Amino acid sequence: MTADDYRRLVGALAAAANRRDAELANAERSYQDGAAVAAAELALANAQAGEADRRAGAAATAVVKADREATRLWDELRRVRGWRGRRLGDLPPPTPVDLLPASPAPAMAAGELLDGPARRMDQARRGAPRPPLPRWILPLLPPLGALGATMTGLVAGGLVTIAHFDTGLQWPLRLLGWLAFLVAPFTSVPVAAIWVDRQFNSRLDTGATGLTVLGGLCAGCALSLLFAR
């Protein structure tokens, strides 16, 4: 082997060694990069799993609290309704998830959903404070009282008119007619009380009740003058 052949062989071996070292370096870098990516993905998966466990624990705690609050409100409802509450029975089971309506709005917390019924229960207790009646409602109460008294008075007049016929029930019909006429000014008070309770979550005070009865009395006087003619 000549010196030139020897030099070419040594050069080829050196080039092969350099290529091997470069490929080993590239493989080492690829391994390190892949290990770093895998470690990052594993850390992210562990963090997501921990967050899911935390949310599941919070949801389970919220469910337990919601069940307790629903049971308390149901028992409170039965106590508020008195003897009628016995017919309600035990707390009904929750609605299955697949039967719940789909809503695009964000889900409310169970506590927020139960806040409304809880306030209604507190306000339904005897003597519980209520918000005052809006002042603009007061002018509407006399016409409401007059309307109820007029309708009741017309019924009373019809009973008295029927009593004039020979039906064999003259005295019972006449008695019912006069009793209906006597209670006519007060017939709108329950209607007004239910209206302000459902629409404004309030109660009729003494002044509002007086205005309602005043309208009924005026209508009753007008009907009395009309029937007297």
Over the stretch 164-201, which tens digit does the pLDDT of each residue have?
Answer: 776 667 778 788 888 888 888 899 899 888 888 888 77
Q: What is d(CA 223, CA 147) in angstroms, rounded to the nearest whole number?
A: 12
> What pLDDT score was predicted for residue 67?
78
Please return the burial class of 185, using the count of CB atoms within 10 Å of its CB with bins 0-12, 13-18 and 19+.
Answer: buried
Give the pair of three-digit tokens for residue 154.
């017309």
Q: What is d(CA 210, CA 153) in angstroms, rounded to the nearest whole number?
A: 19
R_g of the chain computed on alpha carbons: 42
Task: Label residue 96 by pLDDT band (50, 70, 90).
Answer: low
Q: What is d(CA 41, CA 35) in angstroms, rounded to the nearest whole number?
A: 10
The torsion angles phi and psi of 107, rounded to 5 degrees, stand at -70, 140
Q: What is d(CA 149, CA 139) in angstroms, rounded to the nearest whole number?
A: 17
Q: Which residue has the higher pLDDT, 201 or 36?
A: 36
User: pLDDT at residue 104 above 50?
Assistant: no
Q: What is d(CA 222, CA 216) in angstroms, rounded to the nearest whole number?
A: 10
Q: Domain limits of the chain?
A: 3-96+109-124, 135-228
Q: 168 in the Ramachandran plot: left (φ > 0), alpha (ψ -120 to 50) or beta?
A: left
The number of angstroms, rounded, from the C-alpha of 57 to the middle of its chain's C-alpha atoms is 25
User: pLDDT at residue 39 above 50?
Assistant: yes
pLDDT > 70 in the chain, percent? 72
Give the pair of three-digit tokens for residue 183.
């209670």
pLDDT in tens, 128-142: 566 778 888 888 889
